[in-house]
Structure 1
Amino acid sequence: MRHPAGLLGLAILAVVILAAVLAPLVYPASPWDMAGAPLRPPGTDGAVLGTDTMGRDIAAGIMHGARVSLMIGIVSTLAALLLGVTLGAIAGVAGETVDHLIVRFIEIFQTIPNFVLAILLVAILTPSIGTIILAIGLVSWPPLARLTRIQVKSIAAREFVQAARCQGQSAVSVLLRHIIPNAISPIIVTGSMAVASAILIEAALSFMGLGDPNYMSWGYMIGAGRTVIRQAWWASLFPGLAILLTAVAINLIGEALNDALNPRIARS
C-alpha cells in the first residue's frame, strides 16, 4: 500500500478483472456476432470502440477477450509454478547427482527460445485453450525452477534448518515447514510477473492464428485488424492497449510485491 505504482497497477488490473466478470452481462451475445456495419468508427451505431472488418463490436471483443487472457495467464502460471517449484525444491535438497540431472534438464528447455517452443507445441497439439495453457506452462517453468533451487539451497544451509534436522524432523517436513515458507517471497514475485509474460505469449500465438478458434482473444483481434490498420486503426489499437495496460499493471504489482517482500531492500 506504500507504493503508488503498485496501487496504480492494482487499479488497472481491477478494471480488467471487472471487464472480464461483467462481459456476459454487458455483452450477452457472442463477441463473434455481427453488431453493425463493418469498419464503423468508434461511437457510431452504438459501437463504443467501433467495429472490425466483419462488423463485430470491438468493445465486446475486448471484454470477452479479457476473460480468456486472464484465465490463460493465471492457469498457465500456476502450472509453471507447480512444475518449477517442485523440481527446484527437489534439486535444492537432493544430493549432487539428482541436482546435476535436474539442472541439465532445465538447461535443455532453456536452450530453445520460449516463443518458438510454444509455437511448436501448439501447432503439434492443435490450437485450443488446453494446449495453449500447456505450452505456456512448459516454457515458463525453467526460471521458476532455477530460482527455487537457489533459494532452497541458501535457506537449507541456515542454522534454524540444521536445528530442525537435529530434532529428528524428516527431510520432507523440513522442506515443507521451514524451507519453502521462507523461500516463497521471491517465487511469488517472479510468478506474478510470469502471468504478464503468459498473456503476451498467448496474444502472440493468437495473432499468428494459433489461438483457440472458439474464443475471442486480444491477439486475434489485433491480427484480424492489421490488414486494415490504415483505414480502421481502432480495430488493432484498442486490443493492443488492453494487452499493454494489463501487462504493465501486472509488472507494477510485481515490482511493488518485490519491494514489500524483499527484506534486503532498504526502506526510507
Structure 2
Amino acid sequence: MPLATFHLLRLSPSTSPTSFLSSLRTSPNAPSIIIASRPRFLVIRPTHLDTAPLASQPWDLLLLLLPSSPASSSSPTSSIPASLHPLITATYNLTIGIPSRLLASYPSRNAELLRAAPTAPLTGSLDHAQTQSSSQNLELSPDLARLMAELETVYTGPVTQLNLLQFQKEGGGKESYAAYGRGFVEVAGRRGGDAKIVGNVVRHAGEEKEEGWDEISLVHYASIRHFCDMLAGPDYQEINAKYRLGALKDTVLMCTTELDLQDSVTGAPKL
C-alpha cells in the first residue's frame, strides 16, 4: 500500500496557494500532487484530538502528496522540499496509506465527477429543512446555512470535504462506520456525491501520542448546496443516526475547494 503525505499549510503573507504549488511542482525531486485544495471552513470541529492546530489556524492549502521516494513518506514534512519551508508559517501533517487501486483510478474518477457536477440533481430537502443548533452531529445548522450562502457568493462549483476519523474502539466503531459507508454510497450518489480517496492514517514507531486519527477520506459533492441538501434529507439522517454517530470518538470535517493544478503552472488566479 503506497504511503502518501497529508498536509494543511498556512502560507506566508506574500505566498499564494497557486505560487506555492508552482514552486512545489518545479522543485527537484518534487512529489506527485494527488489533491490540492483551498480550505474554506470547518463543518465539524475536533473535540479532543489536535484541537488547537486543526481548529485555530486559518489554513491556506490542503495537499495530498505522493513522495518521490519511499523514504520521504516516513516523515511527512520531508515530502515538501526544504527550499519551500520558509514559505510556510504553520503546518499539520499525517502519513496516509492509500490502496494502489484508488491512486491508479483517481485521475479518471475525479475527472468524471467534475464533468458530471453541473447536472447533479438536488432532492429539494433544503426547501423544508429543519435546522439544528449545531452542525457537530453533521446536521444542517443556521451557521452552516450561512456559510453555504457566503461561499456561493464567490464559488458555486464542486467541493471536496476532508474527513478525519477516530473510531470508537469499543462496540465495533469501525464496523459500524463501514455500514454507514455502504448506506452513504446510495444516499450521496443520488445527489452526485462520492468518496474519492479513503486511506488509513499511519502512526510511526516512536510517536508520542498513544492514540490518533484512524482514517481519512476526501469526498466529492457537486456543490456546497448539494452537501447541505444531503444533510437536510431524512434519508441521510437515518444512516447518520443509526451508524455514524456512535461509530466515532472524534472527527473533523472541513469544506475545501480544489485548485486547478494547471493554474499553478500558468499563475492564473483562483477563487
Pairwise same-fold verdict (TM > 0.5): no
- Decide which structure has the larger Cα Rg and report it: 1
Name the structure with the higher strand share. 2
Q: Which TM-score band applies after superposition, normalised by the shorter structure?
A: under 0.3
Q: Which has the higher contact order (CA 8 A, sep 6+)?
A: 2
Structure with more helix by fraction: 1
